[in-house]
Amino acid sequence: MIIEQTIEITENGVLHLKLPLPPEIPIGSRVNVVVKAASGDPYENSIRIGTREAVERCWGLGKQRGSRLTSDMAIETRRSDRELEEAKYQRLYGKGEAVS
């Protein structure tokens, strides 16, 4: 069972809960209380995005800060890193051999 309620935090930063519990929760039961920021949390409504979109967003942030790196350069670097990792794997385990 999940019960949600939006509560204001007092000026002194104290959270006061006054939450009537439904009868299904017996007196003396143990419950978990989770505090989650409501509006204003940048990750609250985040969605999964692809690699290119993520790189484009990062590139935009970098450009704002004066970076000369382009998104294509970042993607090419990532591709190169993967090729190096694959070559290392092949050196360690050999081509076509199954790894258990």
Among the listed residues 55, 32, 40, the one whose alpha carbon sits nearest the alpha carbon of residue 9: 40
51-64 vs 71-93: helix crossing angle, rounded to 10: 130
Q: Does the residue 75 lie in any domain? A: yes
* Structural domain for 78, as ranges: 51-93
What is the C-alpha to C-alpha distance for residues 30 and 76, in angstroms, rounded to an integer?
A: 53
Note the pTM of the prediction, 2 decimals. Answer: 0.32
Higher pLDDT, 40 or 13: 13
If 0-12 CB within 10 Å is exposed, 13-18 middle and 19+ buried, where does residue 56 land?
A: middle
Q: Does the residue 45 lie in any domain? A: no
Q: Does the residue 85 lie in any domain? A: yes
Residue range 26-71, pLDDT digits in tens: 888 888 877 776 665 555 545 566 777 777 777 777 777 887 777 7
How many domains does the chain divide into? 1
